[in-house]
Chain A
């Protein structure tokens, strides 16, 4: 098809989900003429699955994205209806913020931001083709034949490429929520030599609130004091009335029904070919995999403030409708449940992310970037985090500036991207705390201290905000050093203080910092022993507590990072021919030649490359 429409832009972004929105906003905010394509303007930043943002390790991603100058954190702060800090009984490294979103409001609010961003054009159209000349991307063509020239293109097609939704025998060739799928772009990718995968994910049913008996469930309230996601959100602005979520459980009856009908699951009957996520399994997967588990959690979460729809978290499925009804109705509180939307699985095309650099640019096609589920990840937060990095780098590429790479010691964003482009993935990749080796340093509470500098350097973070972060850092350092110099004696005032806090009396004097190292004594408590105490905000106090209490661990983790950096700094030539190194095992040789890692560190993380291979490589390179 052809028509004579031709327009020029700096950057084209394909897809307006969580990755696309961040990418497009970053580019436009950096002053580049940007156009973003979506199959439906009404579904900008839509949340087709769970109605929340954040959670274990994903909350980290959102805060990091905020420090880099992204929008997701601010948007959830504007539209959340419940918020909770998870894992507070565990160490600070695994604390994670999670907020329930009003889905409609979330999407609307993001659309509003996009519509009011200068230099950003929103266009409803399906992109059918990439235009690539001599391995350099030059623009895209839509199904109508309109041509949009651009210096950079960011692909964020999420789950829409050749999407198919399935439950039982029913299968529809649509994207999520019955939206139009994108059926042409895959072929253009293949024509350009890009390797394509087919992945699968799924979502549970939505139920009518009025059909649920909440008296049989445990109420899950939000935190009394809500902590905002964004470091620039006024904490007072997020203290508002919250809705509740509810917790109930499956039981043996539920599991019996699933087992009896497992052959009718398209997952097990072979109707679904895509590979699903191990870490976000459907209820049938959980029942089949955790055979000895008597029950599984089911979270009942509101989809928004002005809807009766409730999300049945933990029970995603692709079983036939009748089985869905039967299994949901075995769950306490759901005996009479009415389903509004069926649970379904969705299959879609995505790419082998090993084809990307850590900048999220394709190795073989200059100016072409990719982010989000298209890269084989899963989850809104994973998508958005990649989106902002791809967006920044697409912009840097247009501007002729140095692109950014966030490494594994700098953020979960770095871990996510490094895992994807170095190890690849054969299932939808989900962020998890365990994937971050240096998680004690990569805490959600210090994301601003870690990454604002990069956001500022590329131009997404204002001087003013960067200044604030620098001042915060200074204040933390000076206050900690002041505390280690203030001595407290074993006198009555101190003994009383310690007794009140259930702490052992002192035998000799010590510094205030040493007192704060005791688990039961918080920095804030010691103000009565410290007349010179400056006024500090909640988040500064938090940093002081963590840095003092976990000092030894933090030090040891920093020295691990030091070792990591040494290997990252041993650079490898991206054109090096690994077949020259005879001592490498054949598998390692092939993997290294395919990946062409940029450093010894990255080489060491390629699966199939062993430490022995790396020492061979090191010795070989040292000899040269």
Chain B
């Protein structure tokens, strides 16, 4: 297909013990041969496809690193071209040095997403599958992975195809009646179409709604913790981290304002935005004022209100409870320090203040109640059950926008019906809906769709 051979470091550059350098293209094997000497003097070009060999990367006479090298021959590879992958052990600097060597010997550095692009061009995957590859790469937890794999398998495509089919049936029917009024008529058609619109709109809405879940799965639950000073926020965070619930990623931005912790809570990622550094310092209300807290709460998917059960509720608590009224469905109240007090008192107090949120007794220090808390979170976001075997989740915004556009077009069809527009006008919007759904799975022709999808990749994939 394309004559040049590309190379890039395929693993994320971190402090991992092994880095992989991937070479793909017609000269992949001959390039590798120039810089590699196998322990048992085997020639790479004579290796069987999909086999590994141990040896040394050489820069002329100088050994660079001991590596494991695997050879995969076209066409049964990721890119459908010859691929060589080098597992290097020597850390980042050495890995870079090897890549330089490869480039010096005739490969060119791969663009972001170019390996996947070649897989696509080689006919190995369609656009929606390529897009699922990005989601898979970016997946932050096991549910996100499952969701991306389900996209990769084409589950979402099947659903969209089914909906498109239904739209197409309707446009085809309208066209047929227009062309053959002798044998066909529109009698009773509006009712039938409305029935189909009901189905289509319901399914589309469900898919669109699933975006929120999909987003939660992929990006985590946006979480804000609110509470007075010394309510135990930092020990609560530590408790979550401590019970081998490791931090998934660390710092996203560099400024203190956007410090974000990703906490894995039995598969759900909590994205705790520490907008004011609540781990170290005092409470969010005090620091930012009620307005800022409100703003943070508004953007959050989950608000955790931490109450100190050793103390009576005061005006500050009332202020907070008052503010939370707006966010009824996303609040969990955590009653902390139950190891040193009787939580029932605070519970009664809260009830008398008409606080009807889910209450969980915890002891951050003692590590009590975390499981109960986790269960509540799962309940809140997935009705207690995350089941990827029979649910389809939309997880990226591009797809969600297409679905929303399709839904809007269907609303316009409904409007045409109610305005008594001639039937032949329905097709304008039905076709728009059909096209938008095609965009979800790369089956409509938008000139820059492929570009937009591939532009989201990173180098090495």
Q: Which of B1, B80, B431 contacts A581 (CB 8 A)?
A: B1
A432 interface residue, CB < 8 Å from B?
yes
Q: Which of B121, B123, B424, B443 contacts A93 (CB 8 A)?
A: B424
Complexed CA–CA distance, A618 and B447 (Å): 7
A102-110, A144-152, A608-616: which one contacts chain B?
Answer: A608-616
Complexed CA–CA distance, A570 and B451 (Å): 15
Complexed CA–CA distance, A394 and B289 (Å): 80
Which chain B positions have C-beta within 8 A of A623?
2, 117
Q: Whole-angstrom distance from the CB of A151 to the nearest CB of chain B? A: 39
Which chain B positions have C-beta within 8 A of A297?
182
Pairwise interchain contact B123-A583, C-beta atoms closer than 8 A: yes
A481 interface residue, CB < 8 Å from B?
no
B446 interface residue, CB < 8 Å from A?
yes
Q: Which of A94, A296, A440, A619 contacts B117 (CB 8 A)?
A: A619
A401 interface residue, CB < 8 Å from B?
no
B179 interface residue, CB < 8 Å from A?
yes
When C-beta atoms are compared, the residue in chain A nearest to B416 turns out to be A553
B449 interface residue, CB < 8 Å from A?
yes
Pairwise interchain contact A583-B120, C-beta atoms closer than 8 A: yes
Chain B 155-185 per-residue mask, 1 if CB under 8 angstroms from chain A, else 0: 0000000000000000000011011011100
Q: Within residues 117 to 142 of chain A, which ones have a CB less than 8 A from any CB in chain B?
A: none
Complexed CA–CA distance, A90 and B445 (Å): 30
Pairwise interchain contact A615-B2, C-beta atoms closer than 8 A: no
Pairwise interchain contact A440-B428, C-beta atoms closer than 8 A: yes
Q: Within residues 475 to 517 of chain A, which ones have a CB less than 8 A from any CB in chain B?
A: none
Chain B 402-443 per-residue mask, 1 if CB under 8 angstroms from chain A, else 0: 000000000010000001111111001101100100100011
Pairwise interchain contact B425-A580, C-beta atoms closer than 8 A: no
A567 interface residue, CB < 8 Å from B?
yes
Which chain B positions have C-beta within 8 A of A90?
178, 422-424
Which chain B positions have C-beta within 8 A of A432?
179
A91 interface residue, CB < 8 Å from B?
yes
Pairwise interchain contact A622-B451, C-beta atoms closer than 8 A: yes
A338 interface residue, CB < 8 Å from B?
no
Complexed CA–CA distance, A567 and B425 (Å): 24
Q: How large is the interface on A (under 10, 10 to 19, 20 to 34, 35 or more residues)?
A: 35 or more
Complexed CA–CA distance, A552 and B1 (Å): 46
Q: Within residues 503 to 550 of chain A, which ones have a CB less than 8 A from any CB in chain B?
A: 519, 550
Complexed CA–CA distance, A333 and B339 (Å): 101
Q: Contacts A90-B424, A567-B445, A611-B443: A560 and B432 contacting too (C-beta < 8 A)?
A: yes
When C-beta atoms are compared, the residue in chain B nearest to A585 turns out to be B123
Q: Whole-angstrom distance from the CB of B23 to the nearest CB of chain A? A: 18
A574 interface residue, CB < 8 Å from B?
no
When C-beta atoms are compared, the residue in chain A nearest to B127 turns out to be A615
Pairwise interchain contact A619-B450, C-beta atoms closer than 8 A: yes
Q: Contacts A434-B175, A611-B445: A619 and B454 contacting too (C-beta < 8 A)?
A: yes
Which chain A positions have C-beta within 8 A of B412?
552, 556
Q: Contacts A434-B175, A434-B176: A556 and B432 contacting too (C-beta < 8 A)?
A: yes
Q: Which of B123, B127, B178, B454 contacts A584 (CB 8 A)?
A: B123
A306 interface residue, CB < 8 Å from B?
no
Which chain A positions have C-beta within 8 A of B127?
612, 615
Complexed CA–CA distance, A581 and B446 (Å): 20
Q: Whole-angstrom distance from the CB of A383 to the nearest CB of chain B? A: 20
Complexed CA–CA distance, A619 and B126 (Å): 12
Chain A 287-305 per-residue mask, 1 if CB under 8 angstroms from chain B, else 0: 0001001001100000000
Pairwise interchain contact A560-B179, C-beta atoms closer than 8 A: no
Q: Whole-angstrom distance from the CB of B160 to the nearest CB of chain A? A: 13
Complexed CA–CA distance, A553 and B429 (Å): 8
B387 interface residue, CB < 8 Å from A?
no
Complexed CA–CA distance, A582 and B75 (Å): 11
Q: Whole-angstrom distance from the CB of A8 to the nearest CB of chain B? A: 47
Pairwise interchain contact B425-A616, C-beta atoms closer than 8 A: no
Q: Whole-angstrom distance from the CB of B455 to the nearest CB of chain A? A: 11
B122 interface residue, CB < 8 Å from A?
yes
B45 interface residue, CB < 8 Å from A?
no
Complexed CA–CA distance, A583 and B75 (Å): 12
Q: Which of B121, B178, B183 contacts A583 (CB 8 A)?
A: B121
A433 interface residue, CB < 8 Å from B?
yes
Chain A 434-461 per-residue mask, 1 if CB under 8 angstroms from chain B, else 0: 1001011000000000000000000000
Complexed CA–CA distance, A619 and B183 (Å): 45
Q: Contacts A433-B178, A616-B121: A91 and B425 contacting too (C-beta < 8 A)?
A: yes
Complexed CA–CA distance, A395 and B117 (Å): 47
Report B's interface with A, CB cutoff 8 A.
1-2, 80, 117, 120-123, 126-127, 175-176, 178-179, 181-183, 412, 419-425, 428-429, 431-432, 435, 438, 442-447, 449-451, 454
Would you give 18 A-B contacts (Cβ < 8 Å), ordered by A? A87-B178, A87-B181, A91-B423, A297-B182, A432-B179, A433-B424, A434-B175, A434-B179, A553-B425, A556-B428, A567-B447, A582-B1, A583-B121, A585-B123, A612-B443, A614-B445, A615-B449, A619-B117
- Name the 10 nearest CB pairs between A and B, nearest first: A434-B175, A91-B422, A583-B121, A582-B1, A583-B123, A90-B422, A611-B443, A91-B424, A432-B179, A619-B450
Known: A290-B183, A622-B450. 13 other contacts (CB 8 A): A91-B425, A94-B422, A94-B424, A553-B421, A566-B447, A570-B447, A582-B122, A585-B123, A611-B443, A618-B450, A619-B451, A622-B451, A623-B117
